[in-house]
Chain A
């Protein structure tokens, strides 16, 4: 079975631009979470969506937004890019919503902002 897929794998943008990252969860999984990982740090939680509704939001500015579609895929949007947004953006899927559900990560999108 296919795991979590993300696109694109790499992206280079300039400051002030907008970016959209995409994620498809494992088949049958209804929950998608987004994380940001900067070099040398563990991933930081951005959003979780379950059954197309936002279930949790991390400490990120309003420039970050996301949505989940009826097929449970998800998009992460970042507006007005800053140099500090350069990071690996990870999507994780789980079969349900709650602490006991294990989250499985996709390969990530590496975003570079110049």
Chain B
């Protein structure tokens, strides 16, 4: 079983739509959780850390359910510029980030 699993998509949504991505992780000792965004042939960029209480940054909301070992990302009012691959990331070792394969999002006009 992979440490971090995501639906690879692609998710094709129209501008203005709300889209949700889910991710599960296998190591219950995981300490920290993140969503990164990666554009084609570019480096991953940190989108947001994910906290147990849930957190929001503008149009983006992240949730963590430790009991179910489940992380989610909600994007409201999608923009064309949101088109990218979204990587779910977990750290259980204290140093190594464990990445999912990513979920591809395409926002269309």
- Chain A contacts to B: CB under 8 angstroms: 33, 35, 40-45, 48, 50, 55-56, 58, 88, 90, 92, 97-100, 102-108
A42, A45, A92, A97, most chain B CB atoms within 10 A: A42
> Which of chain B's residues have a CB closer than 8 A to the CB of A33?
95-97
B34, B91, B95, most chain A CB atoms within 10 A: B95
Pair B94/A102 contact, Cβ less than 8 Å: no
> Which of chain B's residues have a CB closer than 8 A to the CB of A108?
42-43
The CA-CA distance from A107 to B41 in the complex, in Å, is 9
Whether B55 sits at the interface, judged by CB under 8 Å, is no
Interface range, B side = 20 to 34
Pair B97/A56 contact, Cβ less than 8 Å: no
Pair A90/B44 contact, Cβ less than 8 Å: yes
> Which of chain A's residues have a CB closer than 8 A to the CB of B94?
56, 97-99
Whether B17 sits at the interface, judged by CB under 8 Å, is no
What residue of chain B has the Cβ atom nearest to residue A58's Cβ? Answer: B96
> Which of chain A's residues have a CB closer than 8 A to the CB of B49?
102
